[in-house]
């Protein structure tokens, strides 16, 4: 039987690598998968193979009605010519343009994965415009996925989609966690701490992610500076690419803490810093799920994080971590201090987080659920897929 073709569309390459890699590998066992985004093949080189190819598409992250219209036309022509059995989109912009083009092209199976809503933290007219774009996206899709139950509930409550047309894979997260890759390594812990000049018995707080205002970096620095003024053996490691200028705040924090704030840029080995840490922090203003939380959990880390939809699925408050209100620096400071002073609590939360990550959010479980989703929706070789386990 000839293989059917799938098209996976993203605005940029990063979500394809970070979120969809395990899914793409599994899907390519049954389909010919074409990856489409604004970029070059080298950005997704690790994903390419006999049944996975790449095509560059002129998608821009910023709104530009003329260029977005041209992109829809490009996608429409590409999808019609490609005779795809299904189109699967990620990210808000590529989701809207991809779903609209697929609907116009007559593609039967049109799937979009929601991983958070940019309009949650916006106000005024732009919020209404962005919400309307998500509603249009939903109308064009034949089926929708959310990466957390609380996000699904939020989308339904906000009138973006009806509950009958959207679901969550397994217990949530877009791709699960590779529990072997992120498992704690004591040798790595000692080596990373030695490189940074951190004592083996010191307490290390860790942030991993994009450095943006909406990740709560300013509030995290304020809370840590206050805790560090009372405890000498605490440290903060911040890992990830910068998408906003925090250099002045970081430098001020280093001065106030005697250099106990460490800035690490983009890395392909976040698991090494998770092995070296004691507590993970994610004071974000918005998240679809917070996959990085369960990655940290697989390394045995408890999490201090914002009490928002998405994160409330990744963290069980007072069981696998501790939650605070968004932008509440005082609460964040109190929770960090509690983690410093209460070692048994820190260890117990970390152990519970590890057990929850490996039993409910493993990569294998989530990938298998996506294959079953495709089979249930009637895409491709159902008989072959039904006998396969990841």
Mean pLDDT for 193-214 is 96
Angle 35-37-38 from CA coordinates, rounded to 5°? 150
Q: What is the predicted pLDDT for the residue at 63? A: 81
The values of phi and psi at residue 86, to 5°, are -150, 150
Please tell me the distance from the alpha carbon of residue 44 to that of residue 76, in angstroms, as a whole number: 23
201 and 233 in contact (C-beta within 8 Å)? yes
Mean pLDDT for 302-307 is 98
Q: What is the predicted pLDDT for the residue at 386? A: 44
- pLDDT tens string 222-249: 999 999 999 999 999 999 998 888 999 9
| Token output for 387 | 């006998």
Q: What is the predicted pLDDT for the residue at 243? A: 87
Please tell me the distance from the alpha carbon of residue 376 to that of residue 218, in angstroms, as a whole number: 45
- pLDDT tens string 37-79: 999 999 999 999 999 999 999 898 788 889 999 999 999 999 9
Average pLDDT score over the chain: 94
pLDDT of 387 above 90 = no
At a CB cut-off of 8 Å and minimum separation 6, what does 373 contact? 145, 167, 169
Please tell me the distance from the alpha carbon of residue 188 to that of residue 207, in angstroms, as a whole number: 18
- pLDDT tens string 101-137: 999 999 999 999 999 999 999 999 999 999 999 999 9
| pTM of the entire predicted model | 0.91
At a CB cut-off of 8 Å and minimum separation 6, what does 243 contact? 210, 211, 212
pLDDT of 381 above 70 = no
Return the number of other C-beta atoms located less than 10 Å from residue 316's C-beta: 15
- pLDDT tens string 332-374: 999 999 999 999 999 999 999 999 999 999 999 999 999 999 9
49 beta partners? 52
For the chain, which domains are there?
5-176+363-386 (3.40.50.2000), 186-360 (3.40.50.2000)
227 and 336 in contact (C-beta within 8 Å)? yes
Q: What is the 3-class SS of the chain, one letter each residue?
A: CCCCEEEEECCCCHHHHHCCHHHHHHHCCCCEEEEEECCCHHHHHHHCECCEEEEECCCCCCCCHHHHHHHHHHHHHHHHHHCCCEEEEECHHHHHHHHHHHHHHCCCEEEEEECCCHHHHCCHHHHHHHHHHHHHHHHHCCEEEECCHHHHHHHHHCCCCCHHHEEECCCCCCCCECCCCCCCCHHHHHHHHHHHCCCCCCEEEEEECCECHHHCHHHHHHHHHHHHCCCCCEEEEEECCECCCCHHHHHHHHHHHCCCEEEECCCCCHHHHHHHCCEEEECCCCCCCCHHHHHHHHCCCCEEEECCCCHHHHCCECCCEEEECCCCHHHHHHHHHHHHHCHHHHHHHHHHHHHHHHHHCEHHHHHHHHHHHHHHCCCCCHHHHHCCCC
285 and 216 in contact (C-beta within 8 Å)? yes
């Amino acid at each position: 039987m000839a293989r059917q073709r799938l098209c996976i569309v993203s605005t940029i390459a990063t979500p394809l690598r970070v979120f969809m890699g395990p899914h793409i590998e599994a899907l390519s066992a049954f389909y010919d998968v074409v990856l489409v985004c604004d970029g070059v093949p080298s950005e997704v080189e690790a994903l390419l193979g006999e049944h996975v190819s790449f095509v560059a598409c002129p998608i821009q992250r910023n709104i530009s009605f003329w260029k977005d219209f041209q992109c829809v036309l490009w996608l429409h022509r590409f999808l019609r010519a490609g005779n795809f059995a299904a189109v699967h989109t990620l990210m808000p912009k590529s989701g809207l343009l991809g779903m609209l083009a697929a609907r116009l092209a007559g593609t039967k199976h049109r799937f979009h994965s929601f991983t958070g809503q940019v309009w949650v933290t916006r106000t005024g007219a732009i919020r209404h415009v962005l919400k309307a774009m998500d509603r249009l996206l939903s109308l064009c899709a034949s089926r929708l996925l959310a990466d957390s139950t609380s996000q699904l509930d939020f989308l339904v409550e906000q009138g973006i989609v009806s509950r009958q047309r959207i679901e969550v894979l397994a217990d949530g997260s877009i791709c699960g966690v590779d529990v072997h890759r992120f498992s704690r390594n004591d040798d790595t812990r000692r080596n990373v701490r030695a490189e940074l000049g951190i004592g083996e018995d010191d307490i290390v707080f860790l942030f991993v992610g994009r450095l943006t205002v909406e990740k709560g970096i300013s509030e995290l620095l304020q809370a840590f500076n206050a805790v560090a003024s009372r405890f000498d053996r605490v440290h903060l490691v911040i890992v990830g690419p910068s998408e906003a200028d925090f250099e002045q705040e970081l430098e001020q924090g280093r001065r106030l803490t005697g250099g106990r704030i460490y800035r690490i840029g983009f890395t392909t080995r976040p698991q090494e810093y998770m092995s070296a840490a004691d507590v993970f922090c994610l004071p974000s203003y918005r998240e679809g799920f917070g996959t990085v939380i369960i990655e940290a959990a697989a390394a045995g880390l408890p999490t201090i994080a914002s009490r928002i939809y998405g994160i409330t699925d990744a963290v069980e408050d007072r069981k696998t971590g501790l939650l605070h209100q968004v932008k509440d620096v005082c609460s964040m400071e109190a929770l960090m201090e509690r983690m410093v002073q209460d070692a048994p609590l820190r260890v117990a939360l970390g152990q519970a987080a590890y057990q929850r990550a490996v039993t409910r959010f493993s990569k294998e479980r989530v990938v298998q659920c996506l294959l079953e989703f495709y089979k249930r929706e009637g895409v491709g070789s159902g008989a072959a897929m039904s006998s396969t386990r990841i």
